[in-house]
Structure 1
Amino acid sequence: MSDTKTLVLVDGSSYLYRAFHAMPDLRAVPGDPTSAATGAIRGMINMLQALKKEVHADYAACVFDASGPTFRDAIYPDYKANRAPMPEDLRAQIEPIHEVVRLLGWPVLAIEGVEADDVIGTLARAAAGQGMRVVISSGDKDLSQLVDEHVTIIDTMNGKRRDVAGVTAEFGVPPALMVDFQALVGDAVDNVPGVPKVGPKTAAKWLAEYGSLDALVAHAGAIKGVAGENLRGALDWLPTARELVTIKTDCDLSGHVAGLPAMDAIAFSAEQTGNLADFYQKYGFKSLARALKPEAAPAGASGDLFDAPDASTVATRAQHRDVAYDIILTWAQLDDWLARVRAAPLAAIDTETTSLDELRAEIVGISFSVEPGAAAYIPLAHDGPDTPAQLPLAEVLARLKPWLEDPKHPKLGQHVKYDRHVFANHGIEVRGYVHDTMLQSYVLEVHKPHGLASLAERHTGRTGISYEDLCGKGAKQIPFSQVPVDKAAAYSCEDSDQTLDVHRVLWPQLEADEKLRGIYALEIACSETLFRIERNGVLIDADRLAAQSHALGQRILQLEQEAYDIAGQPFNLGSPKQLGEIFFDKLGMPVVKKTATGARSTDEEVLEKLAEDYPLPAKLLEHRSLSKLKGTYTDKLAQLADPRTGRVHTHYAQAVAVTGRLSSNDPNLQNIPIRTPEGRRVREAFVAPPGRVIASCDYSQIELRIMAHISGDEALLRAFHEGLDVHRATAAEVFGVALGQVTSEQRRYAKVINFGLIYGMSSYGLAKNLGIDNTAAKNYIDRYFQRYPGVWQYMQDTKAQAKARGYVETVFGRRLYLPEINSPNGPRRSAAERAAINAPMQGTAADLIKKAMVQVQDALDAAKPEVLMIMQVHDELVFELPEGDVNWLRAEVPRIMAGVAELKVPLLAEVGVGPDWDKAH
């Protein structure tokens, strides 16, 4: 055991800001918007508890900035001049944060005239000088200049670690040169200018070449180009910049830390349990209060909002319990564990594989856990040096297969869809997956990360081995098969064990809420259906894509030449500088807006505005659109196809979108730009094999129907019940004309209004979209709400409900959290209010299509197993089927989709059939 003492220094000022912005808008009295905000307090408690478990320290301090000016303000009056004032909700939490930090046993320091960084720097140097190990907990890169062989920085919020190697890898310079690096780059947050237009890469390059800022300054005359000119122009300023960014390490702390350098004044003290209990009760942290008396907490007790039940109790148990992790190398061991998993009421499974691509991944090892702290790992394909004899893969899977495929044996996993694919790659169709901790988190806390490491730390207080710890990073990363078996076993067993632990915290919360339990059941069923869709894939016509790529390439070259002709010279179509010179200097176009640095902008928004009056921006927009289409789809789709089958298998991410929507990647089928003829043509390459056809079945105007249901507006309900064209009906209402007299232009306006208001569009946004003035747009919106008062009332009620609860719900009870709904920041609050209006409709639409997927797949399994569901895109299901099953599908699938829920308006699903996806519309 080492005798080296450890000092932990917490950058309290950095963390309280991050906690304030990261945590939802918690209130001392949940649901009361007038009650004091507590999110930053809760975030600080979380961070300090996690840190105390992770790092065992002899001395510690939580350091905050004191109010008032510092010595840097005297050096440079504009220091931090651009910083917004502290939000009032955060300011009100500062005093209680200091209080609870002390109650938790941490010494608190806030010293006038210097910043928290300077106090941290002084204490770090003093401790390092005594041979101590120093751990600084902060997310602030400025502290990197303090790192050396004694001093390390960790960031508990994202797991980042900055030691000497870490700083060098991240910034391109060692810690000893970070002051010089920061002086060159500047600090926009603190309003410290650097050398104009010199970024991190240039600064690192210069320092690597010259060795220091002083040496660089001495050779400033040799630096060429604009960068050299800017450097020479900043020579008088650089000494001041360096002084501003240098952290003081010699502050006089004698009046605050008694006995320096002995540091006895900043040793941990015991938690003040009684006072902490009162504090937690006062600020509404019920589960934290319960955790102080673990014997009083009933099993599975429901926690307060955003506060996992008994997390601290579970964490204490998890961190200090013994674990028994077995490595299975004999048939007797395997038989013993097979008996244990068969007898277990629930078994957690984790696979270790050769690839993150689940459709190509092969098994390297498998772990199980059946009770807390008990797990086993079966190494099956390790091939590193000193690997012990392993049981044969095929025979082990043959023994496991009956249990894996038996639905009567309940199983648990983290992201089970991945493991389903892995086992399917080996001919095993796992049944009985009843729980998935990733999906539990997604339903309970959609706004938070759902990875196992994050879940374990958040809900059980456990931290573990990371994949990078085992395999390394980047080019030096080794395959999992080369990880020593003992380390692989510890890692994999820990994953299974933690999955079981997390489940025991999250599942009782779902059990206690009938609506959320229903959403979770839907997600579990949807996961299985998505596994089937991904496995089916869709056939791609590579020759057709190649022809499209060729045609697009010819058109792109033609557009380049046309752009050159208009400009009167060749130029780089992707260079903002050259575009600015041609647009504004040569062709005299008006400057629409400027960038943050004052340059004339030529971004997409500017091009669209200028394209209304000038041909060159229109050519550039078309060039960009076609280049993106070619690069993203027509060139790449065929490359992504399985060479054995010619099929593309997209990956559906189920736990990403906060609205419950699915996302698609590798390839992304949700973003094919179907508003252009060229984009629609891409869908022609999604084809059926001979004797089969493609069918598309999608919901008609689903979000407007959901709006009618949720708002209960009589006019909107009537339009859908009478089967009217809802956009035409809206136009008749807004423009005050008979239904038969609505013009196509009026219908177009009404369609923009209908969908725009769903997404919280303002009169400004409507005016811009329709190309009309703000007054006219405001009049249209006012008239809309006069005709549809139920919609207006829904919007007001929803915003008020969101402010009170911090979340809104779908029709089926999915919760959609809005952390910024009571933010003092106006734009953030407005964005949250718009999301509050739209999220119930998007979320309900997501729930409906998921219900449809599950029920349609059940019908296919029962009646038409030859019909394959091959894609889900927005509100559309896509099928590949024998030509003889078309009539069945036309009748049954729309009926099933329309019947998945009883709303106040009828659901309508429409079918198209064709030889390819495009012709099926």
Structure 2
Amino acid sequence: MPRLVLIDGSSYLYRAFHALPPLTNSAGEPTGALFGVVNMLRATLAEQPDCAAFVVDAPGKTFRDDLYPEYKANRAAMPDDLRAQIAPMCEIVQALGFPILRVDGVEADDVIGTLALEAARDGADVTISTGDKDFAQLVRVQGGGLGAISLVNTMSGSVLDNDGKVFDKFGVHAHQIVDMLALMGDAVDNVPGVDKCGPKTAAKWLAEYGSLDGVMENAAKIGGKIGENLRAALPRLPLNRELVTIKTDVALELPAKALKLRARDVDALRVLYARYGFNAALRELDGTPAPAAARKTSMRGTEAGYARTGSAAPDGAIDPKLSEPGEYETILTRDRLDAWIAQVQAAEAFAFDTETDSLDALCANLVGISLAVEAGRACYIPLGHTYPGAPAQLPLADTLDALRPLFADANRRKIGQHGKYDLHVLRCHGMDVHGYAEDTMLESFVWNAGASRHDMDSLAKRYLGYDAVKYEDVAGKGAKQILFSQVSLEDGTRYAAEDADITLRLHSVLRPKVASEPTLDRVYREIEMPLVPVLERVEANGVLVDVVELKRQSADLGKRMLDAQQRATELAGRTFSLDSPKQVGQLLFEELKLPVQVKTPSGQPSVNEEALEAIADMHELPRIILEYRGLAKLRSTYTDKLPDMVNRNTGRVHTSYHQAGAATGRLASSDPNLQNIPIRTEDGRRIRRAFIAPAGRSIVACDYSQIELRIMAHLSEDENLLRAFTSGADIHRATAAEVFGKTIEEVSGNERRAAKAINFGLMYGMSAFGLARQLGIGRGEAQDYIALYFSRYPGVRDFMERTRQEARERGFVETVFGRRLHLENIASRNQGLRAGAERAAINAPMQGTAADIVKRAMIEIDRWLAGLGGRALMILQVHDELVFDVEDGFVDDLVDGAKARMAAAADLRVPLVVDAGKGANWDEAH
């Protein structure tokens, strides 16, 4: 029995559930956790272990509950969508041939620990597949007739196979892990440790005193508050040690050597894989192995900072030919470059990609270009690899001159993956790209905006069954990561040429999908693709900022933060860190005994903004903490950061816009994120004053007025709502008049405020409880307001119910222009997830339509501005607002032209109204 693999099944099921998106199969059954576990099991089988077991917790109490009744008492109930995946998981595990072990009265950890030590005593090498740090106490190397015990985290790929690695990770040796856990405690299992003793403190004590017993014996020597905390915890530390120690003497029916893998039940697996949509596993089962090439995730293939977490699940039947490795050529001579140019000239379209030495496209140096004209074949043209001994490469200027006609030809269709980055890079190197016709990231986004990721790696896995070379595979990771210019040409070609090849393959799969749905195809062709060069120009224009003003604001914010800290200290009667959630929680809920209104997912008291707002009327301290946090966020995010983000070449700040950032289609921005500058606070407006116009020019802001409410009126066709907008009345005052049975002139300020809260709240699914809290009224009164609203606007009520029903039947909702938002949880058995999906179903058509309207307006305005020679530049898009940098003599023309084009961006049943303003800075333009 040379090798035994023990799989911590309970751990992996939970970790896969929380790490992966809430995937479902065609029948709406949840599959996310199941997908993660199945992939882990397939990876384990690929290593061909001699023996293996899948170990899970048995239901019921364990001996630890007898020792400590509060053990794991704060764990939340298992989510319904996770519970539903346990039975199919066990079916697949058994069909794969793994023995499944459950032992009453102990945990899976104890079963694994017992089997690991038994096998190691018999000379076997044992691998424990887990993500649980507690197992580090079992790690040991082979020697003295005993086998080794190592840990592998299949999800992260990390391995702990000797004491040195344990020490590097935890700061203590393997035999000290138990003592460290006893000192720290375990919040997940509700084992309280020494207050404020984290891993560094525990490691320091154990280094000095050797063991938990040594620390306890020397507790009197440890000074300060932490010493007091240690001494207060001494009575419970022996129990802690017993609770966190993995048992290794559990009575088991089967010895380790009997845990042989059975033959796979192929027929059962085929049925299960087909049912749950595991296409890659199904192909592997039917004799088409998944490719083994390791693969890529660089920010060029997605939108940096906006790739949502989660792995890609397979999507539909996959052509095996698209999963095969490609053939790639490194271009080092002019004759081979000319040969490839000839191939591109003979093709109707080609895919391309750039490699650079920076994620900042406006500052990046071009390192190479890759091209592909047919699936499976691509080339890489290295232009800037400078590592010692690098082969001679083609001259940059000559190569760009040779390629320029291809990229300048608007009739030659170009295909990219998140090509806006590449357009920036090429433009900065003197090459304007025309005919950018297809983008696989946007094809994926339009096809299924709710998919977990739209980066190249995830799309290759989902649509091609292909594992792409990861950026870290060729450049390393962390502090040791090198620039792409230092990557060898062999590795660089393998990585870069593949980018162009996979882009072409993805397009061959995604284009027919999008084209098969005419409404989606229009969204892609008429909105998303034309917007790419528009956003590239807006980003390149950038915005001028007043660095001196920002530094002055930073100093002022810092002073006010200090004032807030001092006031908080006085109220608390002691010092504490306003930046520490733990210290804030202890002070508010343990010392001041304020009620806990909001809890974290693990059941602990929350101190987030919602939680503090809920108790802000009960004590002055929560309000001061909120004030401090708001000031700190503005300072760290904007006033301190923006001066460092001024581009050295342009002297301006250039944000990045993300088309695939929000499922509703709304644009997001990053580096800096300009969507989150508060507009309703004086501090937020002060930051906008730092966004300025150059001499002789002005800032002009054009903003849609109440666009989502107007879309609500259009979609609901409610007569009263349509009449209010058509008449040009103040919609909130008109709503108040309807709800409260008054004339518009009789409506009070508080009544208008209540109507405004209802108007906007209903679009976002606000409940009576939420409305009551916002208005400071009773829940019954809030419910009466909502009932009155629906009685006066019955079309809105009917629209909401109709939308929910259609979403349940179709699984998606649409914008006015046909963009779809798929709602994976609309049929969920989890009431909370289902309610969230229903709220999204109502809001998404309005928010998505608003996003489409803004994008359509940007396209038309950009087309108009192109012929004006820079008299006006579009420089920012924030929510429903467009911002321009305009020659002073052209301001009135810009306002008239922009407002007309924005108002004409959609044909709704009510007019689109655009407000405009101008000033020396962004704030004055409002």
TM-score range, shorter chain: 0.7 to 0.9
- Match 2:410 to one of 407, 429, 448: 407
Q: Is the 8 Å Cα contact of residues 856 and 905 (structure 2) preserved in structure 1?
A: yes
Once the two structures are superposed, the pairs formed by residues 759-774 of structure 1 within 5 Å of their partners are 759-774=764-779
Q: 2:779 aligned with 1:783, yes or no?
A: no
**Secondary structure of 1:648's match?**
coil
Cα distance in 1 for residues equivalent to 2:457 and 2:166: 24
The residue identity in structure 1 corresponding to 2:443 is Q
1:299 aligned residue? none
Q: 2:743 aligned with 1:751, yes or no?
A: no
Q: 2:412 aligned with 1:428, yes or no?
A: no
Classify 1:182/1:582 alpha carbon distance in 2 versus 1 (closer, same or farther; 3 Å).
closer
1:229 aligned residue? 228
Aligned residues: 892
Q: Is the 8 Å Cα contact of residues 277 and 314 (structure 2) preserved in structure 1?
A: no
Q: Following TM superposition, by how much is the alpha carbon of 1:730 offset from its aligned partner in structure 2, in angstroms?
A: 0.4
Of 399-408 and 172-181, deviating more is: 172-181
Cα distance in 1 for residues equivalent to 2:512 and 2:684: 47
Q: Is the 8 Å Cα contact of residues 720 and 906 (structure 1) preserved in structure 2?
A: yes
1:694 aligned residue? 699
2:86 aligned residue? 94
Cα distance in 2 for residues equivalent to 1:135 and 1:491: 32
- Match 2:378 to one of 355, 360, 375: 375
Once the two structures are superposed, the pairs formed by residues 438-837 of structure 1 within 5 Å of their partners are 438-443=441-446, 444-521=448-525, 522-549=527-554, 591=594, 593=596, 622=627, 624-837=629-842
Deviations 1:581-606 (A, max 9, x none): 99999xx9883548979999987567
- Match 1:103 to one of 95, 108, 119: 95
- Match 1:82 to one of 74, 82, 92: 74
The residue identity in structure 1 corresponding to 2:360 is D
Classify 1:456/1:176 alpha carbon distance in 2 versus 1 (closer, same or farther; 3 Å).
farther
The residue identity in structure 2 corresponding to 1:721 is T
1:266 aligned residue? 261
Q: Following TM superposition, by how much is the alpha carbon of 1:661 offset from its aligned partner in structure 2, in angstroms?
A: 1.8
Q: 2:344 aligned with 1:341, yes or no?
A: yes
Classify 1:451/1:24 alpha carbon distance in 2 versus 1 (closer, same or farther; 3 Å).
closer
Cα distance in 1 for residues equivalent to 2:229 and 2:711: 58
**Secondary structure of 1:869's match?**
strand
Q: Following TM superposition, by how much is the alpha carbon of 1:719 offset from its aligned partner in structure 2, in angstroms?
A: 1.4
Classify 1:729/1:864 alpha carbon distance in 2 versus 1 (closer, same or farther; 3 Å).
farther
Cα distance in 2 for residues equivalent to 1:752 and 1:518: 35
Cα distance in 2 for residues equivalent to 1:574 and 1:293: 55
**Secondary structure of 2:353's match?**
strand
Q: Following TM superposition, by how much is the alpha carbon of 1:308 offset from its aligned partner in structure 2, in angstroms?
A: 0.7
- Match 1:308 to one of 301, 315, 321: 315
1:842 aligned residue? 847
Classify 1:842/1:204 alpha carbon distance in 2 versus 1 (closer, same or farther; 3 Å).
farther
Q: Following TM superposition, by how much is the alpha carbon of 1:680 offset from its aligned partner in structure 2, in angstroms?
A: 1.3
1:301 aligned residue? none
2:197 aligned residue? 198
Deviations 1:290-314 (A, max 9, x none): 997799xxxxxxxxx9751224x54
**Secondary structure of 1:82's match?**
coil
Cα distance in 2 for residues equivalent to 1:110 and 1:619: 51
Cα distance in 1 for residues equivalent to 2:245 and 2:178: 6
Deviations 1:52-73 (A, max 9, x none): 56x5656544433343444544
Of 285-294 and 692-701, deviating more is: 285-294
Deviations 1:490-538 (A, max 9, x none): 2323333343444444333323222333333322322221111110001
Q: Is the 8 Å Cα contact of residues 589 and 595 (structure 2) preserved in structure 1?
A: no
Q: Is the 8 Å Cα contact of residues 24 and 819 (structure 1) preserved in structure 2?
A: no
The residue identity in structure 2 corresponding to 1:360 is C
- Match 2:871 to one of 848, 866, 870: 866
1:354 aligned residue? 357
Deviations 1:66-97 (A, max 9, x none): 43444544554444343344445544443332
Q: Is the 8 Å Cα contact of residues 118 and 247 (structure 1) preserved in structure 2?
A: yes
Q: Following TM superposition, by how much is the alpha carbon of 1:354 offset from its aligned partner in structure 2, in angstroms?
A: 1.5
The residue identity in structure 2 corresponding to 1:246 is T
Q: Following TM superposition, by how much is the alpha carbon of 1:278 offset from its aligned partner in structure 2, in angstroms?
A: 3.7
Cα distance in 2 for residues equivalent to 1:187 and 1:409: 61
Cα distance in 2 for residues equivalent to 1:433 and 1:830: 41
Classify 1:120/1:619 alpha carbon distance in 2 versus 1 (closer, same or farther; 3 Å).
closer
- Match 1:63 to one of 46, 55, 65: 55
The residue identity in structure 1 corresponding to 2:86 is I
Q: Following TM superposition, by how much is the alpha carbon of 1:23 offset from its aligned partner in structure 2, in angstroms?
A: 6.1
Q: Following TM superposition, by how much is the alpha carbon of 1:729 offset from its aligned partner in structure 2, in angstroms?
A: 1.0
Cα distance in 2 for residues equivalent to 1:152 and 1:12: 17
1:117 aligned residue? 109
Deviations 1:18-40 (A, max 9, x none): 45556666667636xxxx65555
Deviations 1:538-580 (A, max 9, x none): 1123344345445556666777788889999999776889989
The residue identity in structure 2 corresponding to 1:216 is V
Deviations 1:192-249 (A, max 9, x none): 3333432333233333444443443443333323333333444444344334333445
Cα distance in 1 for residues equivalent to 2:667 and 2:809: 28
Q: Following TM superposition, by how much is the alpha carbon of 1:896 offset from its aligned partner in structure 2, in angstroms?
A: 1.8
Which residues of structure 2 form unaligned runs of 5+? 142-147, 289-311
- Match 2:13 to one of 13, 16, 19: 16
The residue identity in structure 1 corresponding to 2:261 is I
Deviations 1:626-672 (A, max 9, x none): 45434433343233222443311112233222332222222221122
Classify 1:309/1:281 alpha carbon distance in 2 versus 1 (closer, same or farther; 3 Å).
closer
Q: Is the 8 Å Cα contact of residues 87 and 824 (structure 1) preserved in structure 2?
A: no
Cα distance in 1 for residues equivalent to 2:379 and 2:867: 38
Cα distance in 1 for residues equivalent to 2:26 and 2:650: 59
The residue identity in structure 2 corresponding to 1:897 is M
Cα distance in 2 for residues equivalent to 1:24 and 1:581: 33
The residue identity in structure 1 corresponding to 2:691 is F
Deviations 1:418-475 (A, max 9, x none): 2222222211122333333333333325340233333333443433443334333443
Q: Is the 8 Å Cα contact of residues 103 and 276 (structure 1) preserved in structure 2?
A: yes
Q: Following TM superposition, by how much is the alpha carbon of 1:717 offset from its aligned partner in structure 2, in angstroms?
A: 1.8
Cα distance in 2 for residues equivalent to 1:400 and 1:51: 47
The residue identity in structure 1 corresponding to 2:752 is R
Q: Is the 8 Å Cα contact of residues 30 and 805 (structure 1) preserved in structure 2?
A: no
Q: Following TM superposition, by how much is the alpha carbon of 1:727 offset from its aligned partner in structure 2, in angstroms?
A: 0.6
Q: Is the 8 Å Cα contact of residues 795 and 837 (structure 1) preserved in structure 2?
A: yes
2:187 aligned residue? 188
Q: TM-score, normalised by structure 2?
A: 0.85
- Match 1:899 to one of 897, 904, 911: 904
Percent identity of the aligned residues? 52
Of 132-141 and 659-668, deviating more is: 132-141
Cα distance in 2 for residues equivalent to 1:393 and 1:694: 39
Q: Following TM superposition, by how much is the alpha carbon of 1:858 offset from its aligned partner in structure 2, in angstroms?
A: 1.9
Once the two structures are superposed, the pairs formed by residues 231-250 of structure 1 within 5 Å of their partners are 231-248=230-247
2:299 aligned residue? none
Q: Is the 8 Å Cα contact of residues 21 and 32 (structure 2) preserved in structure 1?
A: yes
Which residues of structure 1 form unaligned runs of 5+? 296-304
Q: Following TM superposition, by how much is the alpha carbon of 1:733 offset from its aligned partner in structure 2, in angstroms?
A: 0.9
Classify 1:252/1:490 alpha carbon distance in 2 versus 1 (closer, same or farther; 3 Å).
farther
The residue identity in structure 2 corresponding to 1:680 is R
Q: Following TM superposition, by how much is the alpha carbon of 1:804 offset from its aligned partner in structure 2, in angstroms?
A: 4.7
The residue identity in structure 2 corresponding to 1:493 is A
**Secondary structure of 1:647's match?**
coil
